[in-house]
Amino acid sequence: MQKRFVSIWFRQLLADWQLIRRPELAVVPFVFTAPDHGRLLITAVSPLARDFGVELGMRSADAKAICPNLEVLDDKPGRPLKLLRGLGEWCVRYAPIVAIDQFAKDGLLLDVSGCAHLWGGEREYLKEIVSRLKSKGYTTRVAIADTAGAAWAVSRYGKITPLIPEGGHTEALLSLVPEALRLDEPVLAKLRKLGFHQIKSFIGMPRSVLRRRFGEHFLSQLAKALGTEEEVIQPLQVPIPFQERLPCLEPIKTRTGIEIAIARMLESLCKRLQAEGKGLRTGVLTGYRIDGKIVHISIGTSGASHSVSHLFKLFQLKIEQIRPALGIELFILDVPRVDEVEVPQESMWTAKPGLDNQSVIRLLDRVAGKVGFDVIHRYLPATRYWPERSLRSAVSVTEKPTTDWRMDKPRPTELLRRPDPIEVMALIPDHPPKFFIYKGVQHFVVKADGPERIEREWWLDKGEHRDYYQVEDEKGHRYWLFRSGHYGGEQKYQWFIHGFFA
Amino acid sequence: MTKRDLVCKLQQDILMWQGYKSTAGAPTGRIGLGSIEKVFPGGTFPKRAIHEFITVFSEDAAASDGFIAGLLAVLMEEGAACVWISTSRKLFPASLRAFNVEPERIIFMDVKTEKDVLWIMEEALKCDGLAAVVAELNQVSLTESRRLQLAVEKSGVTGFILRKDASKATSTVAAARWQISPLPSTAEEGLPGLGFPRWQVDLLKVRNGNPGRWVLEWAGDAFAEVAPERKENIQGERENRQIG
């Protein structure tokens, strides 16, 4: 298919942006200035100021002499790029690949191959872009051509038509000035000196001559404009292979409407996913509101899934987070992460219960969607003795333990997150306590087991070992106590309660 | 027809009149509670139901945990999974292996509010791939418990509500209300140390059944009933003494 590119040139990006923010400036000439070598140079000019003769690159003092009531505003470095990024993201509605013009940094380049017919032809397409940007407050010039270079040139220097038909870009370039080729100032000065005022006056010259006089870069820029050399443009958003778009005729602002939109997008998405044997792991629904804001909701699944009903339920939990305001005019459903889906074998009887049961996985997804992934824990045995570290969290639902759970030593049914200090009366050297006081209540120990010494993992943290005792008081409550450290050691010993046995 | 058959028939008729729906079609089987199971309607432990456990002292909660773990061991046979929902979990998963439960098949959900616990519990009870759902929940109203019961009836998952604060107990539609409190264990004759965990099991309320009180022990791999003879003897002696 023939590639087509659109170039959008924002003639006065900063001035337009300022006018949108502060409409009262419409009657005041204003400029943006940035300090340069100890003086203030003008970086952007409002249309009113231009009428007075103020130009880019002038000193602010000179401009004030021409136009006494000139308003001078500070320019922030990087602001145009930031604005362009925002506009570029908005322009994704017109084409999936949108890039910032890296040469002049005052426009956008769109790869619109195969997009224009959706708006009823290229003429309507360009008209739509210009009028929508106009209604937002931006004055633009656009052009469409076979190469990004030609579109760039025509949008800025073209005088006849912005619509360059297929294969007509060479012809359109002929009558343009050399600046249209995106060249640096030294090369342009040389061209002017030699009397080349139009591209057609040097395009027919032998390449070796041109290379000798103007360098390799000049040739490459010419080739890019003519289409003999491929131009790589860097898209703002990397296009995602699994994406669904749903433009709406009327802005949508009700829950039912959003639900219908999600269901319709999921249906066609899941059909595609199913055909390729893939399943969704994360999904992002983006709504473009008519006031220019963008709203997002995202879902994640613990296992790849292409079931419409399941994914729909996950989105349903998040719909409340969407603020449609005046309405959403475009929905985009992105699937940044897909995985191979394991097609469960059709079971003739009911599926066996277990962790890999589909309904369990769906339950986990719903919980994760509503409360968050971090609330779900599953533990596997770790080959460590220190009680707090004898477990590790499982990474996935299907992960199996690599070692057996230890059963040779008693472990309490309830373990305190932090051991509580207790007061104890015990015989030395290693007798279990006679009694202990926990939370103000005295417990007389009737039966006891122990001690079980657990050494600290000295390569991780410093401290004393623990001597654990399993004790039972006169009422039958069973506790897990330990003494930290030796009785006569350098550190002070201390008794703690660490858990309760069933 | 013998007298025994007649009584049996009568009991079933009474249950029917009381509106008790027998869980025909559900997998029948013992839960390992021995004679306790006899007090339930039809003589089987109701698996498609909500069971409520209350603890008066917070230090008794471990006993309820252990008792439930013993029940889970039977419920989670054949590789089924279980969900344990809590706001402040103290349960130590590694200890469950001693109750024949494979801790890796329990999914813990540690949420912040009781509202989330309720929501997850209802969703989990609807999920027929699970064997049981345990929720540490203090406040549950009659309406909420009714919703949970409806979810259970559809899916057949057993639900356990652990109330660690008995003061907030309200009436619910739970099939049974249990209270488990620890009792002093007895080691084997002449051996020092602790014996098997022993509990006093109070069945405070049973739907269409008879409440009762038993002494149980987790004897390594199954529940074992302990005949409360010794206790009665002591009481008897004391009474005698008083008389004397």
Looking at the structure, tell me whether residues A152 and A186 fall in a common domain.
yes
Average pLDDT on A274-280 reads 85
Question: Are B104 and A400 inside 8 Å of each other by CB?
Answer: yes
DSSP track, A176-237: S-GGGG---HHHHHHHHHTT--SGGGTTTS-HHHHHHHH-HHHHHHHHHHHTSSPPP---SS
* Cβ contacts of B215 within 8 Å, gap of 6 or more: B183, B198, B199, B200, B201, B225, B226, B227, B228
Q: Are residues A248 and A209 in the same domain?
A: no
Task: State the average pLDDT over residues B15-28.
Answer: 60
Classify A450 as helix, strand or coil. strand
pLDDT at B20: 66
Do residues A109 and A148 make contact, with C-beta atoms less than 8 angstroms apart? Answer: yes
pLDDT of residue B232: 47
Report how far residue A314's alpha carbon sits from residue A335's, in angstroms, rounded to the nearest whole number: 14
Of A411, A472, A477, the CB nearest to B95: A411
- In this prediction, residues A82-99 reach a mean pLDDT of 88
- What does the pLDDT look like over A32-57, one tens digit per residue? 998 888 888 888 888 888 888 888 88
**What is the mean predicted confidence (pLDDT) over B204-217?**
88
pLDDT band at A142 (very low <50, low <70, confident <90, very high): very high
In the predicted model, what is the mean pLDDT of residues A291-310?
85
**pLDDT class for B120, splitting at 50, 70, 90?**
very high
Q: How confident is the model over A263-270, as a mean pLDDT?
A: 90
Q: Does B215 map to a domain?
A: yes
- pLDDT category of residue B25 using cuts at 50, 70 and 90: very low
- Look at residue B244 in the predicted model and tell me its pLDDT: 41
Residue-wise pLDDT for A309-338, tens only, equals: 888 988 988 888 888 888 898 999 988 888
Q: Judging by beta carbons within 10 Å of its beta carbon (0-12, 13-18, 19+), is residue A185 exposed, middle or buried?
A: exposed
Q: How confident is the model at residue A127 (pLDDT cuts 50, 70, 90)?
A: very high
Could you tell me which residues come within 8 angstroms of residue A249 by beta carbon, excluding any fewer than 6 positions away? Answer: none
According to DSSP, the residues that pair with B206 across neighbouring strands are: B176
In a domain, B205, yes or no: yes
Question: Is the previous residue joined to A429 through a cis bond, with omega within 30 degrees of 0?
Answer: yes
Per-residue pLDDT band at B230 (split at 50, 70, 90): low
Minimal-distance CA residue of chain A relative to B87: A375
Give residue B239's pLDDT: 47
- Would residue A380 count as lying in a domain? no
Within 8 A of A477 by CB-CB distance, chain B residues are: 59-60, 182
Beta carbons within 8 Å of A384's beta carbon, 6+ residues apart:
A390, A457
The more confidently predicted of residues B171 and B53 is: B53
CA distance A437 to A497: 10
Residue B4 within a domain:
no
Does residue B229 register a pLDDT over 80? Answer: no
Q: For residue B24, what pLDDT is reported?
A: 46
pLDDT at residue number B22: 58
pLDDT at A239: 67
Predicted local confidence at residue A131, as pLDDT: 92
For residue A122, pLDDT beyond 50: yes
Residue A235 and residue A256 in one domain: no
**Considering the domain boundaries, does residue B16 fall inside one?**
no
Domain carrying residue A327: 243-337
Instruction: Choose among B131, B17, B123: nearest CA to B69.
Output: B131
H helix and E strand count, chain A: 13, 21
ipTM for the whole predicted complex goes beyond 0.90: no
Note the pTM of the prediction, 2 decimals.
Answer: 0.64
- A502 has a chain B CB within 8 A of its CB: yes
Assigned domain for B92 exists: yes
pLDDT mean across residues, chain A? 87
Determine the average pLDDT of the residues in B63-67. Answer: 92
pLDDT at site A480 = 93
Q: Does A40 fall in a domain?
A: no
Instruction: Tell me A77's DSSP state.
Output: T
Of B190, B232, B185, B208, residue with least CA distance to B66 = B185
> Is there a domain that residue A89 lies in?
yes
Count the domains in chain A. 3
Same domain, A1 and A131: yes
Residue A84 sits in the same domain as residue A109 = yes
Q: What is the pLDDT of residue B228?
A: 62
Nearest C-alpha neighbor of B75 from the set B34, B29, B126 = B29
Distance (Å) from the C-alpha of residue B13 to the closest C-alpha of chain A? Answer: 33
In this model, does residue B236 exceed pLDDT 50? Answer: no
Which pLDDT belongs to residue B48? 85
In terms of domains, do A431 and A465 share one?
yes
Domain identity same for A251 and A235: no
- CATH number of the domain that residue B63 is part of: 3.40.50.300
**Is a pLDDT exceeding 90 seen at residue B84?**
yes
Cβ atoms within 10 Å, residue A355: 24
- For residue A276, is pLDDT > 60? yes
Residue A293's pLDDT is 87
Q: Give the nearest partner residue to A353 out of B90, B96, B129, using CB atoms.
A: B129
Final residue in a domain of this structure, among A337, A354, A373: A337
Find out whether A181 and A210 touch, Cβ atoms under 8 Å: no
In a domain, B81, yes or no: yes
Is residue A360, in this structure, part of any structural domain at all? no
Please give the structure tokens belonging to residue A168: 């007509």
Do A301 and A152 lie in a common domain? no
Dihedral angle, C-alpha A377, A381, A383, A389, nearest 10 °: 40
Contact A502 B102 (CB under 8 A): no
Contact between B109 and A357 using a beta-carbon 8 Å cutoff:
no
**Which of B66, B96, B184 lies at the smallest CB-CB distance from A476?**
B184
Residues A81, A166 within the same domain: yes
At residue A492 the predicted structure's pLDDT band, cuts being 50, 70 and 90, is: confident
Residue B38 lies in a domain: yes
**Is B76 within 8 Å of B105 (Cβ atoms)?**
yes
| Long-range residue pairs from A77-86, CB within 8 A, at least 24 positions apart, any chain | A77/A34, A79/A14, A80/A13, A80/A14, A80/A105, A80/A106, A81/A105, A83/A13, A83/A14, A83/A17, A84/A10, A84/A13, A84/A108, A85/A236
The domain total for chain B is: 1
Residue B19 in this model has a pLDDT that exceeds 60: yes
Residue B18 lies in a domain: no
Higher pLDDT, A352 or B142: B142
Residue A344 pLDDT: 58
* Contacting residues for B210 by C-beta, under 8 A, at least 6 apart: B39
More confident residue, A4 or B187: A4
Q: Looking at CA atoms only, how far is residue B110 from chain A in angstroms? A: 5
In whole angstroms, what is the distance from residue B199 CA to residue B228 CA?
A: 12
The two tokens of residue B64 are 């309820």
- Interface residue A478 vs chain B (CB under 8 A): yes
Q: How many CA atoms lie within 13 A of B40 on its CB side?
A: 23
Put simply, the answer to whether A447 touches B184 (Cβ < 8 Å) is yes
Matching residue, tokens 């491929």: A230
- Other CB atoms within a 10 A radius of the CB of residue B3 amount to 7
Q: Write the residue in B103, B111, B119 that is nearest to A379 by C-beta.
A: B103
Contact yes or no for A43/A33 (Cβ under 8 A)? yes
Residue B238: band (very low, low, confident or very high) from pLDDT cuts 50, 70, 90: very low
Least Cα separation, residue B70 to chain A (angstroms): 11
Instruction: Over range A255-276, report the average pLDDT.
Output: 89
Range(s) of the domain holding residue B122: 33-186+193-243
Its sign, for the CA torsion A164, A170, A176, A182, is positive
Q: 3-state SS string over A273-308?
A: HHHCCEEEEEEEEEEEECCCCEEEEEEEEEEEECCH
User: Are A91 and A221 within one domain?
Assistant: yes
**In a domain? residue A452:** yes
Nearest to B183 among A354, A476, A501 (CB): A476
Chain B CB within 8 Å of residue A449 CB: yes
Closest of A225, A232, A234, A288 to residue A94, by C-alpha: A288
Q: Residue ranges of the alpha helices (H) in A301-437?
A: 308-318, 358-370
Task: Indicate which of A320, A356, A357, A363 best probes the interface with B, i.e. most B CBs within 10 Å of its own CB.
Answer: A363
**Domain shared by A205 and A261, yes or no:** no
Domain edge (last residue) among A279, A302, A337? A337
Which of the listed residues A337, A362, A384 is the one where a domain comes to its end? A337
Would you place residue A345 in the very low, low, confident or very high pLDDT band (cuts 50, 70, 90)? Answer: low
Structure tokens at A374: 């971090």
State the pLDDT at residue B160: 93
β-pairing verdict for B81-86 and B130-136: parallel
Q: Is A121 helix (H, G, I), strand (E, B) or coil?
A: coil
Answer whether residue B130 shows pLDDT above 80: yes
Closest CA to B164 of B137, B191, B141: B137
Whether the CB of A280 is below 8 Å from some CB of chain B: the reply is: no
Same domain, A192 and A306: no
